[in-house]
Structure 1
Amino acid sequence: MRQLFFRRWYVFLLSTALLVGLPVGQASAQAMQEPAPEGAAEVRASDPYEGWNRKVFRFNETLDRWVLKPVAQTYRTVTPNIIDRGITNFFNNLQEIRNLANSLLQLKGESAVVAAGRFTYNTVFGLAGFFDVATAFELPERPEDFGQTLGYWGAGSGPYLMLPLLGPSSPRHFGGMVTDIVVLPSAWDAVESPTDLYARGVQIVDKRADLIPAESFISGDTYIFVRNAFLQRREYLIKDGEMVEDPFSSGNDEDLMLEDF
């Protein structure tokens, strides 16, 4: 048990070095430029450390520009679409164990059944998850993580944080991410180190490559765009799809609605 605990921490710490810039593209990919309706729930996070956060954001962007993005662009060029989609499906399928565990912790029986069904169908009939057959069986993914679990039970988000390498976060989100990796059961347990580290690297490069087209969504102040997209996305997930208003938007900024994907 102790060996498993430290192995997870080892993989977590090393794999974060490959996460540079990923949250920037991810936030833009999940943002849709549509106004939030009146009466929608408000995101109650704040950004008291904006000066420091912007410095970290520039650091992450620089490393992404010179390290991760070039690798992702090469990967996108040489990988056939069907292989690229299959790799994405494979890694998404591994997340279903996390979705199942957190659905149970949030007392969401239906979501737990969906997660278990998706993992079973995709593993058995989808060649270990290479094909997403569960969606064809009308079992769309319902992402759940421990940060959402904390929010479900009333834990506050805390201030907005831009973390070196890890990107947009908050105390609740970061604590949930660490818990998911270190404590909760995962399909990654079946993968032995150092193979798991290599697999994490492929997962991150694949994700970054998939997000390259979404960079065209970014407009205006990139830092504010990413911050708004992240905060709304997290609140959207915690409230199971309820749309939220952006407290940081001004008369010159467009509101964002984040869709589940």
Structure 2
Amino acid sequence: MMVLQRLAVASLAALALAGCATGPNANPADPLEPFNRGVSTFNEKLDTYALKPVATVYSDYTPTPVQIAVGNFFSNVSDVYSAANNLLQGKPSRAAEDTMRVAINSVLGIGGLIDIATPAGLPKYKEDFGQTMGVWGVPAGPYLVLPLFGPSSVRDTAGMIVDRFSDPTTYISPWYAGLGLQTVRVIDTRAQLLGASSLIEAAALDRYSFLRDSYLQRRNYLIHDGEVPDKDGGAPDGKQDDNSAPAQPSAPEPATPTTPASPKAG
């Protein structure tokens, strides 16, 4: 609960500061850009001097089977709130598949350390409450960069806080055990993005704009399940396979750290 409370306070503080970040030179499409760029600079420094070095050591020296098991564990945790959000979005079959994934991986996969559900043919979905609100028609609001957590929006920030309540790791006690588990989660997530960060550094002329546009496009794609309406309000372009989605620089499962690219927290 301590982690949840700190997340909520940090997010609300960021929203309050964002209200003071507009000005005459603000981009109409990104009214919080002055604030966002400042937070992005802070996040990049934090990543350069702390997150990336630790993640690199973790990636280089932790045995691959251990890294896979850690990733599987947190992926299994994310299936819990993915199931809830699929149900809230009116997708009962997907919610049932998510629930089956959790049951199979938790029991036969030794607490989720082994992913048995995927080879068994159960697809993995990555639904969060931000997407759920988007399906309900709640507008995204301004693009917002959060300290540590990175690219988001006003809607997705609120959704991230809600998702924490359905994340089983939130309720681990004592508090320092939960904090240690979340630290491992941050390091594992960052380690999985080491290759993506190198690609962005080589390709992006304006890192901030690249991450912003990639994040917003990816979120729009996910909310519409690949059936994104055209700009004229016409029919969707057609159902696309999730693997054909535009590359997203970072992952956004709910409650993941700032990375050079946008993620929550499969």
TM > 0.5 between the two? yes
Higher relative contact order (CA 8 A, sep 6+): 1
Q: Is the 8 A contact 1:151 1:157 kept in 2?
A: yes
Per-residue deviation at 1:56? 1.5
Match of 2:191 in 1: 209
Q: Match of 2:5?
A: 10
Cα deviation per residue 1:185-205 (whole Å; 9 max; x = unaligned)? 332256212211110000110
CA distance in 2, matches of 1:101, 1:163: 25
Q: Which amino acid aligns with 1:113?
A: A
Q: How far off its partner does 1:100 sit? A: 1.2
| Residue 83 of structure 1: aligned partner | 66
Q: Distance in 2 between matches of 1:15 and 1:77?
A: 32
Tell me how far apart the structure 2 counterparts of residues 49 and 116 of structure 1 sit (CA, whole Å).
Answer: 38
The secondary structure found in structure 2 opposite 1:226 is helix
Deviation at 1:165, TM superposition (A): 2.0
Rounded to whole Å, the distance in 1 between the matches of 2:162 and 2:84 is 12
Which residue, 211, 214, 231 being the options, matches 1:226? 211
Give the TM-score of the pair, scaled to structure 2: 0.74
Question: What is the Cα deviation at residue 216 of structure 1?
Answer: 3.0
Q: CA deviation at 1:7?
A: 4.0
Q: Find out whether 1:107 has 2:85 as its counterpart.
A: no
Give the one of 238, 244, 250 matched to 2:223: 238
- Give the deviation of 1:107 after TM superposition: 1.4
Q: Structure 1 residue 143 and structure 2 residue 138: aligned? A: no
- In the alignment, structure 1 segments of 5+ residues that lack a partner are 1-5, 17-44, 247-255
Q: Aligned partners of 1:62, 1:200: CA distance in 2, in Å?
A: 21
- What is the CA distance between 1:51 and its match in structure 2? 2.4
In the TM superposition, structure 1's runs of 4+ consecutive aligned residues that sit over 4 Å from their partners are 13-16, 243-246
- Fraction of identical pairs, as percent: 40
Q: CA deviation at 1:14?
A: 9.5
The root-mean-square deviation of aligned C-alpha atoms, in Å, is: 2.6
In structure 2, what is the Cα distance between the partners aligned to 1:213 and 1:131?
Answer: 24
Go from structure 1 to structure 2 and tell me whether the alpha carbon gap of 1:127 and 1:190 turns closer, same or farther (over 3 Å shift). farther
Equivalent position SS for 1:169: strand
How many Å apart are 1:49 and its aligned residue? 2.1
The match for 1:159 is 142
Query: Whole-Å Cα distance in 1 between the matches of residues 227 and 29 of structure 2?
Result: 20
